[in-house]
Chains A and B, each alone.
Chain A
């Protein structure tokens, strides 16, 4: 995506002066401070950082799962500060997809039922057909009725990918999507993730400590001492 096209449209996600402090004993621990970020429609953005840098905290804030201590954050053009927890949930419904490091599949649901779960909240016509279709796209057409425990780690993450895209969201957040997988399986999942993202034309915000994964994105940002720093191409290649 070129810089000029980015400037043509409003950012789908915009953060300014974002800060998060948490109480640790009797003192305040600053995890994020003065953080700024704009993500535009169709972009793929990687956020890199070492363990404990606050990547997951940031992802939680960006997705509206948590409220910042201060700063402004708009998602789909709506200021999250004006919304309570329920309001933020409604904003997410059907428009945001998630992929988690530990898959987060419900153990009592079959693969298909897991994929259909977000659609229960934001129904689309022919939900079930869509669910089957998406499971087919991730190569699990034959495993619709399997429970998570009957699937391998890679297969479970594929179910999670299908679930993330099934509502045709505008924005997908991925939190270390390969963190629990071996190298080869991880690579296949990455391929699949980017393929699906491209086909659906979705915006992707990906949190990882894996440079190989980050390199696949349009932009890479490094979380450093609570702020985001744009990484240069050579930095990522290194």
Chain B
């Protein structure tokens, strides 16, 4: 022993724990810093940073979008909680809401004729109190400049929509008659903070003060008036009223809760959101595969270090700590870079999307950042963990006997752990346990199938190669010789090749899938709103005007949809019961139960509708006795019961299915229909859509008008003028602006989707980089051996080409299979699109794969080919 006081063999334990930890932290940090030049560490870093960037980008974006939408929703609804019924609310309800901490505002909605000097126009009246609006401001023009006002019109005053002012030809300060009251025009409304939709808003708006309501005399027993109680307050206040709200719903009050009834984004944006999440996960998966590949090389390279440290007395726990810490620093550094990229990426996504949602977004929260870091760590543990354990198992004896490498981690263990972790991430991001582990289970089965398939392909390749005439026999070209050598190398290194084939096929599949889904999404969107999508709606066409109206449009308008007759009716019974007693509790406040519905009749299934259950009338009718229309039957049986077709969404909400009956009061008469079919339709289609359709010969006897939609090009303004002049009673609604907005939104969603696709492709390239980095030493060794035996540069170069290209071809085939199945699953289960086979994929992936892997692999091995054999031969096994 020396003169020095040594800390002893158990020095670490005898030192202060803190300094011990610090020493390991510093040791691992320095180790990592030195390691940064190694390609595998760089590959690990890039892959982890990409995983974090993808996760945080999508996370930040969706988080901000969600919170922004929630904030906006309150404004759009007019409050955080909106109660609506056809009679005034009593004092006890008000008291309860106020006691819960909510601020209340009363509003009354009704449709009434407004007149001035003999000009009449039905208007949608919004009667507001002094507290209106609870959220936001009204943009009103009272003088030359529009103003933003946080109140409604004063008593005695009305504000009009520009269209109403124009129709009535009134100016500021002039009187208009509303019911029996005469009120003064005090402003022209440019924008309301709360926007209600639906047919009532087809009538231009008139806003007035609630104090004037009585003098109008419009509210009479039986008149159609909606009383609304708007409430604003913190979410907790609304939550505390939960059971009371349930009670109100059962009493037939329509309750809109901002947390539940947030105005939807529309299916396109919803799909885009899902696509973004999916792409984020695909990028994380790809990064995971890259991490797994890079880790193999990292571990190989550090086996000697581990053995040496064992030799110097490091315990397994210390080795684990050292390498775990090293990778932790790497993951944290990658997280920082990834999070920064993610932040930048979400800013791009937001710039692409939100301008069109006119949303004010809250700043990014911290949650996505933590999720990103968690993702990096999870990816590291899941995809690198089992392989890293090899370092711990290394024997100190390896310093004396180089061949003593610990057994590589079982491929199945690697896949199992990675799958479990990825499943967990899927769950974390989708919040859907069944979906996550269903996808995962399917994925694992697919991997097993691919493994078997890969094994067979490699065996096949070996057999084929054996049949190729050798150099001497056939005097074969260098190409053939290279192909034989390359294929043999690939097939002989079966385990390594299978691992690479799986990694590449998953990579190709993920890249292809994201590209496929993108293409199909865009196709669907384009098909949804083609060039000639109707830009005008015409309602209230009287039966006598019908033919003349069509004639006027003839030749000028494209895509005139059918003219649908429209009869208004109210649901009075469901299955013979009072409607509210017959439907589930949550449907008590359903709009369709409280309002008159627009009913139509039709012989054929309307365009854009799809019968999803039951049969359409024509099929039914042919089964009936010929020669009798429905009306005849109805009349004959005395108890009217006719087949009807109901929109599937409404049926689902009301808990109705085939065979259930619905009774309607139309013009004072009752008609009962039996649900014969359920229809699926697209409410965003810019065509007339109906909840309930009757067969012909039932509703004709009731008063009805027609509705249609058509596309009128800009240059046909004469026709428009003609329509306005010849059919003064017909309301023409220009939806061009809305249509443009939706198109614009889709265009930007498309760009966002493409941006994310680019990101996924980048992650795919990181896998290739990591994989080729991992296999470099082995290939260098093989090339050097060939050179020692006299092979020329040309042969070695082509042999490597052949090997990489074959690898790419096989991986491409497997990837195509995987992508096709995965895309079908996603379409059916998630995006709600019909699946289809993509033939192009089966050509593009194998040949594209061969070309891509062949070229990149060949390029990356250029350095290897330039090295002197001595160096390459020494490279194998050295760190």
Q: Which residues of A contact B (CB under 8 A)?
A: 56, 59-60, 63-66, 85-86, 89-96, 98, 100, 104, 106-109, 113, 117-118, 120-125, 167-168, 170, 175, 200-201
15 CB-based A-B contacts, threshold 8 Å: A56-B400, A60-B400, A63-B311, A86-B317, A92-B311, A93-B314, A94-B9, A98-B311, A100-B400, A104-B308, A106-B308, A117-B309, A122-B8, A122-B312, A170-B1
Proximity bits, B389-414, A CB within 8 Å = 1, else 0: 00000011101110000000000000
In contact, B399 and A96 (Cβ under 8 angstroms): no
Whether A108 contacts B316 by the Cβ 8 Å rule is no
Task: Give the distance in Å from the alpha carbon of A65 to the alpha carbon of B38 in the complex.
Answer: 29
Residues of B256-308 whose CB lies within 8 A of A:
304-305, 308
Cα of A10 to Cα of B452 in the assembled complex, Å: 62
Interface residue total, chain B, C-beta cutoff 8 A: 40
Kindly identify which residue among B37, B397, B400, B879 contacts A106, using a CB–CB cutoff of 8 Å: B879
Q: Which residues of A sit under 8 angstroms from B7, Cβ to Cβ?
A: 94, 122-124
Produce 1/0 per residue, B1-35, CB < 8 A to A. 11011111111100100000001000100100011
Q: Which residue of B lies closest to A66 (CB)?
A: B397
Is B313's CB under 8 angstroms from A122's CB? yes
Query: B: which residues have CB within 8 A of A?
Result: 1-2, 4-12, 15, 23, 27, 30, 34-35, 37-38, 304-305, 308-318, 395-397, 399-401, 878-879
In the complex, A98 Cα to B397 Cα: how many Å?
Answer: 12
State the CA gap A118–B305 with chains docked (Å): 12
| Residue of B2, B10, B318 touching A168 (CB-CB under 8 A) | B2
Q: How far is the CA of A95 from the CA of B11 in the complex (A)?
A: 12
In the bound complex, how far is the Cα of B8 from the Cα of A66, in angstroms?
22
A210 to B: closest C-beta gap in Å: 17
Kindly list chain B residues whose C-beta atoms are within 8 Å of the C-beta of A200.
Answer: 2
Contact B15 A85 (CB under 8 A): no
What residues on B are CB-neighbors of A59 within 8 Å?
400
Q: Is the CB of A65 within 8 A of B879?
A: no
How close is A180's CB to chain B, nearest CB, in angstroms? 12
- List the B residue with the shortest CB-CB distance to A176: B400
Asked if B9 and A122 make an inter-chain contact with CB atoms under 8 angstroms apart, the answer reads yes
CB pair A90 B315 closer than 8 Å: yes
Which one of B11, B15, B35 contacts A94 once the chains associate, using CB atoms below 8 Å?
B11
In angstroms, how far is the closest chain A Cβ from the Cβ of B428?
A: 36
**CB atoms of A108 and B27 under 8 A apart:** no
Q: Are B304 and A93 in contact (CB under 8 A)?
A: no
A154 to B447, CA, bound (A): 52
Contact A65 B397 (CB under 8 A): yes
**Are A94 and B6 within 8 A (Cβ)?**
yes
Contact for B311 among A65, A94, A108, A167, CB less than 8 A = A65
Nearest B residue to A147 via CB reads B34
Residues of B within 8 A of A167 (CB): 6
- Point out the residue from B6, B37, B396, B399 that lies within 8 Å of A89, measured CB to CB: B396
Bound complex: CA A100 to CA B309 (Å): 14
Contact call B304/A60, Cβ cutoff below 8 A: no
A134 to B8, CA, bound (A): 20
Residues of B within 8 A of A93 (CB): 9-11, 312-314
Residue in B9, B315, B317, B318 whose CB lies within 8 Å of A95: B9
- Complex CA gap A179/B103 in Å reads 90
Q: In angstroms, how far is the closest chain B Cβ from the Cβ of A58?
A: 10
A210–B819 Cα gap in the complex (Å)?
64
Evaluate whether A89 and B400 lie within 8 angstroms (CB atoms) in the complex, with A109-B34, A125-B4 already known: no
Distance between A40 CB and nearest chain B CB, rounded to angstroms: 15
Least Cβ–Cβ distance between B873 and chain A, in angstroms:
15
Q: Which residues of A contact B311 (CB under 8 A)?
A: 63, 65, 92, 98
In whole angstroms, how far apart are the Cα atoms of A106 and B5 in the complex? 28
Distance A86 CA – B312 CA, assembled complex (angstroms):
11
Residues in chain B near residue A56, CB distance under 8 A: 400-401
- Asked if residues A108 and B9 are in contact (CB atoms below 8 Å), the reply is no
Q: How far is the CB of B392 from chain A (nearest CB, A)?
A: 10
Bound together, the chains give a CA A56 to CA B402 distance in angstroms of 12
Residues of chain A lying within 8 A (CB to CB) of residue B399: 65, 98, 100, 104
| Contacting pair A108 B38 (CB below 8 A) | yes
Known A92-B312, A98-B399, A122-B7; further 14 A-B contacts with Cβ < 8 A: A60-B401, A66-B397, A89-B310, A89-B315, A92-B311, A93-B9, A93-B313, A94-B8, A106-B305, A107-B879, A108-B37, A108-B38, A121-B309, A121-B314
Contact of B316 among A86, A120, A121, A168 (CB under 8 A): A86
Q: How far is the CB of B476 from chain A (nearest CB, A)?
A: 39
For B401, the chain A residues whose CB sits under 8 A away are 56, 60
CA distance A86 to B879 in the complex (A): 24
Which are the 7 A-B pairs with shortest beta-carbon distances?
A93-B313, A168-B2, A65-B396, A92-B313, A118-B312, A86-B315, A108-B34
Give the docked Cα–Cα distance between A56 and B401 (Å).
Answer: 8
Closest chain A residue, CB of each to CB of B26: A120
In the docked arrangement, what's the CA distance between A65 and B30, Å? Answer: 27
B4 and A168 contacting across the interface, CB-CB below 8 Å: yes
Residues of chain B within 8 A (CB-CB) of A104 are 304, 308, 399
Distance in angstroms between the alpha carbons of A106 and B34 in the assembled complex: 11
A107 touching B878 by the CB < 8 A rule?
A: yes
Are B9 and A85 in contact, CB atoms less than 8 angstroms apart? no
Check if A60 sits within 8 Å of B314, measured CB to CB. Answer: no
**Within the assembled complex, what's the spacing in Å between the Cα atoms of A104 and B308?**
8
Q: Which has the most chain B C-beta neighbours within 10 Å: A60, A93, A117, A125?
A: A93
Are the CB atoms of A85 and B316 closer together than 8 Å?
yes
Chain B residue with Cβ nearest A87: B315
